[in-house]
């Protein structure tokens, strides 16, 4: 059993994985937790029914470091998706705080050392997160990932809020996400109190992949304050074998995102109704976000009309039509 070290709270670090033996990403993710300057942590390696070598890798770490690492899996080694596997890790967690890391991403060494004191000093905050580095340049000795080198795309930081280094009250972050799908926290960045899962429930298991994180975050944003930092504590590796990049390279990414976003909005509407949440600003933002899906033809027409250049094209077409039309005596 992991005990308190110098009265510092225990952090349960959860890595979910499924067939994660791609290059050395899985081992690098695990080692980035071992490299933490904050010492009082435990690691749960939650297996989503892997069929490759990653199960053996996880078991080896658990056997080698039994006081720090535990291996957990679904009954019968089932594959149940990301949400169910995060919940699996949460159920086995012993820490006061919980942090997530995907099997192909990295934490910077000072992540927990800097994050824990922030949450400790803001007891009203349910969770904390910062900005995340979209890590294109992970390829060794190559400033740009080789598969993406033709695009010349450099690393960049996510935009997670309109305000930073402050406590943000409920619904504010949800409203931002409804207005702009690019403003959201990466799961590998958050540190959250375990009590929050008891208060609002865990991840929604109907969401196996897309938007599973924002479904859970939305429940938090509706209920409790969150602290948003301008610091970067993690790297989100961009590589061709990731779920989203694989979908994009197959030409399915846009449609998967569209379907996932619509499913998320439908879930949010049902959740607001079920919990009898009647915040007018949230409902207004939700209806606006749903409009393109519910009225696609009208939405396209409105977008067409509201672009100034469109007026010139329409007027020029009409003028040309009459200019070319024969005049009958």
DSSP 196-221: HHHHH-S--TT-SSTTHHHHHHHHHH
Q: What angle do CA 81, 161, 104 make, to 5 degrees?
A: 35
Are 314 and 218 in the same domain?
Answer: no
Q: Looking at the domain assignment, is residue 198 inside a domain?
A: yes
Residue 189 lies in a domain: yes
| Residue 269: inside a domain | no
pLDDT at 1 over 70: no
Per-residue pLDDT averaged across 126-130, rounded? 98
DSSP secondary structure letter of residue 227: E
Residues 177 and 310 in one domain: no
pLDDT at 140 over 60: no
Q: For residue 143, what pLDDT is reported?
A: 36
Q: Which of 21-30, 198-207, 273-282 has the lowest mean pLDDT?
A: 21-30
Judge if 163 and 48 occupy the same domain.
yes
Q: Is residue 263 part of a domain?
A: no
**What's the average model confidence in pLDDT over 194-212?**
94
Is the pLDDT at 159 greater than 90, yes or no?
A: no
Q: What is the model's pLDDT at position 242?
A: 61
Q: Do 206 and 315 fall within a single domain? A: no
Percent pLDDT > 70 in the chain is: 80
For residues 78 and 195, membership in a common domain is answered with yes
pLDDT tens string 96-120: 999 999 999 999 999 999 999 999 9
Q: How far apart are CA 293 and CA 255, in angstroms?
A: 13
Domain of 31, CATH number, reads 3.90.550.10
Domain interval for residue 315 = 295-324
Q: Closest Cα partner for 213 from 120, 303, 129, 152?
A: 129
Does 282 map to a domain? no
Give the residue from 218, 250, 282 where a domain finishes: 250
CB contact at 8 A, 285 and 178: yes
pLDDT at 89 exceeding the cut of 80: yes
The Cα–Cα gap between 47 and 52 comes to 11
241 and 300 belong to one structural domain: no
Q: What is the pLDDT of residue 325?
A: 52
DSSP 139: S
Q: Is residue 149 part of a domain?
A: yes
pLDDT in tens, 254-278: 787 789 899 999 999 999 999 999 9
Structural domain ending residue among the three candidates 250, 269, 285: 250
Are 38 and 155 within one domain? yes
Residues 87 and 217 in one domain: yes
pLDDT at position 150, please?
A: 40
Note whether 184 and 312 are same-domain residues.
no
* Chain-centre distance for alpha carbon 84: 15
Provide the mean pLDDT of the chain: 87
Tell me which of 329 and 296 has the higher pLDDT: 296
pTM attached to this predicted model = 0.84
Pair (15, 80) in one structural domain: yes
- Domains contained in the chain, number: 2
């Amino acid at each position: 059993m992991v005990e308190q070290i110098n009265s510092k709270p225990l952090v349960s670090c959860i890595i979910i994985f499924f067939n994660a033996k791609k290059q050395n990403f899985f081992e690098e993710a695990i080692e980035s937790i071992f490299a933490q300057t904050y010492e009082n942590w435990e690691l749960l390696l939650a297996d989503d029914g892997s069929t490759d070598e990653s199960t053996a890798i996880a078991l080896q770490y658990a056997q080698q470091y039994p006081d720090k690492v535990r291996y957990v899996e679904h009954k019968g080694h089932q594959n149940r998706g990301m949400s169910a596997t995060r919940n699996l890790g949460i159920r086995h967690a012993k820490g006061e705080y919980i942090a997530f890391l995907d099997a192909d991403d990295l934490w910077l060494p000072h992540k927990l050392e800097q994050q824990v004191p922030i949450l400790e000093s803001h007891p009203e905050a349910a969770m904390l997160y910062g900005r995340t580095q979209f890590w294109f340049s992970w390829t060794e000795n190559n400033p740009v990932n080789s598969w993406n080198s033709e695009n010349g795309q450099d690393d960049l930081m996510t935009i997670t809020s309109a305000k930073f280094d402050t406590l943000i009250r409920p619904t504010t972050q949800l409203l931002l996400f409804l207005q702009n799908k690019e403003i959201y926290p990466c799961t590998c960045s958050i540190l959250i109190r375990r009590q929050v899962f008891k208060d609002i429930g865990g991840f929604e298991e109907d969401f196996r992949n897309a938007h599973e994180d924002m479904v859970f975050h939305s429940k938090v944003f509706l209920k409790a304050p969150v602290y948003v930092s301008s610091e970067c504590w993690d790297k989100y590796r961009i590589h061709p074998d990731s779920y989203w990049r694989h979908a994009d390279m197959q030409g399915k990414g846009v449609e998967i995102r569209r379907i996932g976003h619509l499913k998320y909005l439908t879930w949010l509407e049902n959740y607001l109704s079920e919990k009898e949440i009647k915040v007018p600003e949230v409902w207004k933002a939700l209806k606006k976000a749903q409009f393109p899906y519910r009225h696609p033809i009208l939405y396209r027409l409105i977008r067409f009309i509201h672009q100034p250049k469109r007026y010139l094209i329409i007027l020029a077409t009409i003028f040309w039509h009459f200019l070319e039309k024969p005049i009958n005596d």
